[in-house]
């Protein structure tokens, strides 16, 4: 019988390789979003809207009717020099 039920769990410590792993993805890119006008998920076009000090602001528009369906700020773009 196991005395400690948590003995098989692996905890990351500052020296482990687990704590130094990079994330699986940096940012998500939308390919389809829901359009209120078309009443369905539609392919989108990503358009640069503003260049801000903290990053670039993009707007997603419906590929069929042009309605705005979302926006996003790319924080990584503002850090590049």
pTM of the model: 0.64
Domain assignment present for residue 17? The answer is: no
Domain hosting 72: range is 28-79
**pLDDT of 28:** 78
Domain assignment present for residue 1? The answer is: no
User: How far, CA to CA in Å, does 59 sit from each of 37, 46, 50, 53?
Assistant: 17, 6, 9, 17
Domain assignment present for residue 72? The answer is: yes
Domain assignment present for residue 53? The answer is: yes
* pLDDT tens-digit series, residues 8-56: 666 656 555 555 667 776 777 889 999 999 999 999 999 999 999 989 9
Domain tally for the chain? 1
Domain assignment present for residue 63? The answer is: yes
Domain assignment present for residue 47? The answer is: yes
pLDDT tops 70 at residue 79: no
Domain assignment present for residue 10? The answer is: no
Domain assignment present for residue 60? The answer is: yes
């Amino acid at each position: 019988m196991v005395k400690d039920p948590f003995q098989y769990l692996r905890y990351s410590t500052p020296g482990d390789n687990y704590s130094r792993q990079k994330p699986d993805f940096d940012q998500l890119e939308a390919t389809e979003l829901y359009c209120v006008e078309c009443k369905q998920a539609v392919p989108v076009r990503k358009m640069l809207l503003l260049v801000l000090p903290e990053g670039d602001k993009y707007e997603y528009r419906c590929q069929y009717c042009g309605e705005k369906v979302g926006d996003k700020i790319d924080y990584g773009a503002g850090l590049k020099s």
